[in-house]
Structure 1
Amino acid sequence: MSQGGWGAIALAAALSATSARGASEPPLAAVTLVGPTEMVFSAKRDACDGDDVPDAPARAFRDAEGGIVMFGLHTKNRALRGRDFAALKIDCQPTMPSGGDAEPASYDDASWIAATWSEDGRSVQALVHHEYQANTHPGRCSRKEYLACWYNTVVAASSRDGGRSFERGAPPVVVAAAPFRQEVGQGRHRGFFNPSNIFGQGRQRFFLSSTTGWAGQDGGACLFRTDQPADPSSWRAFDGKDFVLRFGDPYRNGAGVKPCRTIWPFPAPVGSVTRHRPTGAWIAVFQASASGDLFPEPGFYSTSSRDLLRWDKPRLLLAGKTLYDDPCTSGGRLISYPSLVDPEAEGRNFDDVGVSADLYYATLKVEGCQITSDRDLLRRRVAIQVWP
């Protein structure tokens, strides 16, 4: 989420996912671009209004009639819909407009539907990336800068009409929050943010969420699990031994928790995680700025795992300056928000891939040093190989 989301911020430098190391060599899988670029959505051409820009990784599910519903736009959370992926068009009805509420305990300031899960195509559970932008509410922040006042939580929403409208509780269920309120620690970005897609194995459902950390908590990506996705209060984070940590609402229970274990090698939010159908291996894609030997170039990277805890060394998938790079050096265009979606997926929620899939991502035009709303959602075919 940029300009009110992931932003033109040096976020990757602030995160250090140093835990759960143990990369396997050689890499377990290779994801390779093999197809031309296809336009899925152009903000200048297709938007209903100025709020419709690609601003999150693409998330899709099949509705009860077999059509495709995809999220990944801005804070009115409009969906793309179509009989198949080739026919996706924007639906101008907002599914969950953001309220701009100045009360942080309401969790209704700026919200993005960041992940969805549906068992039947009618009832849909969503993970919402929520930003309390305290700099926009007088008296709520000691600073004036956006990032210094940014307080993030992952909250729950649900739909009973196939994703045409989403509701949050009053108050919403908090899935992941730092164990302190928004006024604590101002001066830097705080909280949990940018959940990956929800992905499943058997009865279990998972997602990864990033955090910049706090005293006792490393920054990085933490893994969450539940076997009851319809009950958002059931999500628990991994502490290094088991999924036992509940990062609940600091405005209502106020209890601190032990730190979650961050998962190497993710330096920032994870774009998507999918299961390779032929082998059961997990494949993640994400973006990174250039950093040492692990990320020699800025761009999109892939990594793979057998158990979601030990991942192999990332491999460059698509080179290019990302939202984690200085826009002044972008050359006029950035790339961001990668996710893998296989149109032939067996699961309703497109959390599995075969020998090929589509890489969905956004390009963002930069004018001078300013990221603009001139953005496109693109896709490119990739080939996937997993070694025994």
Structure 2
Amino acid sequence: MRNAAIALVLGLTLIAPSTPAPAQTLTIRTTGEPETVTSWQRDACSESDAPDTPARAFRDASGIVHLIASHSTARALTGPSLDALRPNCAVIFQGHGQDDPRLHDDRSWISSFYTMDGKTVFALVSNEFHAQKRRALCPSGEYMRCWRNSITAAVSTDGGVSFRLSSAPPNHTVATLPYPYGGDVGQRTGYFAPSNIVRNGDHWYAFLWAERFGAQQRGACLMRTDNLADPQSWRGWDGKAFSVRFVRDGQSGDAPEMHLCAPVAPGVLQGTVRSIVRQRTSGLFIATLAMTRDGRTGIWTTTSPDLLTWSKPELLWTAPLLFRYGCGDAAAFDYPALLDPGSPSRNFDDVGKTAYVYMTRLNLDKCKITWNRDLVRLRVEIDGG
């Protein structure tokens, strides 16, 4: 594995109302090499049972830990702790393959979870409409030219054993473009890849990724809600406030610009925010991203006191990535997410002095991505704060 331990310093000055506070820093460094959590060749329940989302974890009411890092047919790892998980072949969620893009219920990746009591578990879902399978909508038959993505909501009432859509489609929709689906527009469009959900004050927050389309700018958008049970209660950041009400497919009658999110810290968050956790000692949020910046490719971190202002990203670990690898590489990586096995949080949304970066390792076969993917984790130490 290239790159051993790389130390990084994340600096952020916190200003008090009257006098400046001293600079607060976190030093994060990797220790050791990645260890395998699940092996596709050993543990897969089916060919497509491969980690294709960042690892998310929560504890149910009985104390059992559920970790989900799955494909569109979602399964969980379960066990007494993050350090003692076993694959479970029971399907917990999948989309319904509906042909109407206005229903936002085609192929769906359940991606983000939050529970207050370990019984009711709220979730965000990344829904992909695959029009290449509907040639009347996508004459080219090319996946990327016709792909429209949206964020939807699901819920479990049995502690995460099974999930269903939170409402009948399309009322389960959380965030989608205000433009009607246009078919073969030559690029993927929509809102993608929600981060995990974190609570800050009276609201719950999650990042999503926006592609440039119409008046929508490309970048990391932040949304929040005060009611996880209501998919329509999420509001996006407009650059000044959380005032963006997401509407479906041009149905509002308003100018589309009124219903588009503004990317947060576009010069910093230049890749999809895969996870956000709060460091318990400092109170700072840490975001993890897989991206290329300043000519360097790998896993990056950045910190924030408020989820809106972010420090300069620092390279945590150099590695080839899903869309940035060479034919000489044995594997590519993506979906980095920080998880602390010792977290007291039911939702593993904070970290202490040590944690793990969970990632998907995509084992390359003659320079190609296949189903052969493993969930791995890399230990990190966090100092300061």
**Residue of structure 1 equivalent to 2:19:** none
Mapped partners of 2:328, 2:145: distance in 1: 24
Which amino acid is the alignment partner of residue 231 of structure 2?
A: P
Which amino acid is the alignment partner of residue 164 of structure 1?
A: V
> Once the two structures are aligned, what percentage of the paired residues are identical?
38
**Residue of structure 2 equivalent to 1:31:** 28
- Kindly provide the CA deviation profile for residues 321-367 of structure 1, in whole angstroms up to 9, marking residues without a partner as x: 10121x44451210111000111212211111111111100100112
Mapped partners of 1:84, 1:192: distance in 2: 33
**Residue of structure 1 equivalent to 2:245:** 246
CA contact 1:141–1:183 (8 Å) conserved in 2: no
Mapped partners of 2:270, 2:323: distance in 1: 10
Q: Aligned ranges for residues 124-135 of structure 1 at < 5 Å?
A: 124-135=121-132
Mapped partners of 1:182, 1:31: distance in 2: 43
CA contact 2:246–2:259 (8 Å) conserved in 1: no
**Residue of structure 2 equivalent to 1:137:** 134
| Alignment equivalent of 1:67, drawn from 64, 68, 85 | 64
How far off is 1:261 after superposition? 1.9
**Residue of structure 2 equivalent to 1:263:** 264
**Residue of structure 2 equivalent to 1:357:** 355
- Structure 1 counterpart SS, 2:302: strand
Mapped partners of 1:347, 1:29: distance in 2: 21
Mapped partners of 1:322, 1:71: distance in 2: 21
**Residue of structure 2 equivalent to 1:286:** 289
CA contact 1:274–1:340 (8 Å) conserved in 2: yes
**Residue of structure 2 equivalent to 1:160:** 157
**Residue of structure 2 equivalent to 1:86:** 83
Q: Normalising to structure 1: TM-score of the pair?
A: 0.88
- Kindly provide the CA deviation profile for residues 75-124 of structure 1, in whole angstroms up to 9, marking residues without a partner as x: 11111111111221122111112322222122221111110011111101
Q: Normalising to structure 2: TM-score of the pair?
A: 0.89
Which amino acid is the alignment partner of residue 375 of structure 2?
A: L
**Residue of structure 1 equivalent to 2:374:** 376
- Structure 1 counterpart SS, 2:74: coil
Which amino acid is the alignment partner of residue 46 of structure 1?
A: D
| Alignment equivalent of 2:276, drawn from 250, 263, 273 | 273
- Kindly provide the CA deviation profile for residues 226-268 of structure 1, in whole angstroms up to 9, marking residues without a partner as x: 1211222111011111111111322754653243221221222
Q: Which runs of 4+ in 1 moved over 3 A?
A: 23-28, 251-255, 327-330
**Residue of structure 1 equivalent to 2:197:** 198
**Residue of structure 1 equivalent to 2:383:** 385
CA contact 1:288–1:324 (8 Å) conserved in 2: no
Mapped partners of 1:107, 1:27: distance in 2: 43
CA RMSD, 1 decimal? 1.9
Mapped partners of 1:227, 1:29: distance in 2: 30
| Alignment equivalent of 1:108, drawn from 97, 105, 127 | 105
How many residues are aligned here?
360
- Kindly provide the CA deviation profile for residues 112-141 of structure 1, in whole angstroms up to 9, marking residues without a partner as x: 111001111110111001100111122111
CA contact 1:27–1:304 (8 Å) conserved in 2: no
Which amino acid is the alignment partner of residue 222 of structure 1?
A: C
CA contact 2:94–2:109 (8 Å) conserved in 1: no
Greater per-residue strand proportion: 2
CA contact 2:178–2:259 (8 Å) conserved in 1: no
- Kindly provide the CA deviation profile for residues 266-288 of structure 1, in whole angstroms up to 9, marking residues without a partner as x: 22211100011111111001100
Query: 1:192 and 1:27, CA in 2 relative to 1: closer, same or farther beyond 3 A?
Result: farther
**Residue of structure 2 equivalent to 1:4:** none
Mapped partners of 1:254, 1:382: distance in 2: 49
Which amino acid is the alignment partner of residue 362 of structure 1?
A: T
**Residue of structure 2 equivalent to 1:41:** 38
| Alignment equivalent of 2:168, drawn from 167, 170, 174 | 170
CA contact 1:28–1:304 (8 Å) conserved in 2: no
Query: 1:141 and 1:35, CA in 2 relative to 1: closer, same or farther beyond 3 A?
Result: same
How far off is 1:28 after superposition? 3.8
Q: Aligned ranges for residues 320-359 of structure 1 at < 5 Å?
A: 320-325=319-324, 327-329=325-327, 331-359=329-357
How far off is 1:201 after superposition? 1.7
Unaligned runs of 5+ in 2: 1-10, 14-22
Unaligned runs of 5+ in 1: 1-22
Deviates more, 1:194-203 or 1:175-184: 175-184
Which amino acid is the alignment partner of residue 269 of structure 2?
A: F
CA contact 1:330–1:366 (8 Å) conserved in 2: no
How far off is 1:175 after superposition? 0.9
- Structure 2 counterpart SS, 1:44: helix
**Residue of structure 2 equivalent to 1:310:** 309
Mapped partners of 2:269, 2:328: distance in 1: 23
Mapped partners of 1:254, 1:267: distance in 2: 32
Query: 1:27 and 1:217, CA in 2 relative to 1: closer, same or farther beyond 3 A?
Result: farther
**Residue of structure 1 equivalent to 2:119:** 122
CA contact 1:142–1:186 (8 Å) conserved in 2: no
Mapped partners of 2:328, 2:53: distance in 1: 19
**Residue of structure 2 equivalent to 1:56:** 53
Mapped partners of 2:153, 2:161: distance in 1: 16
How far off is 1:185 after superposition? 6.7
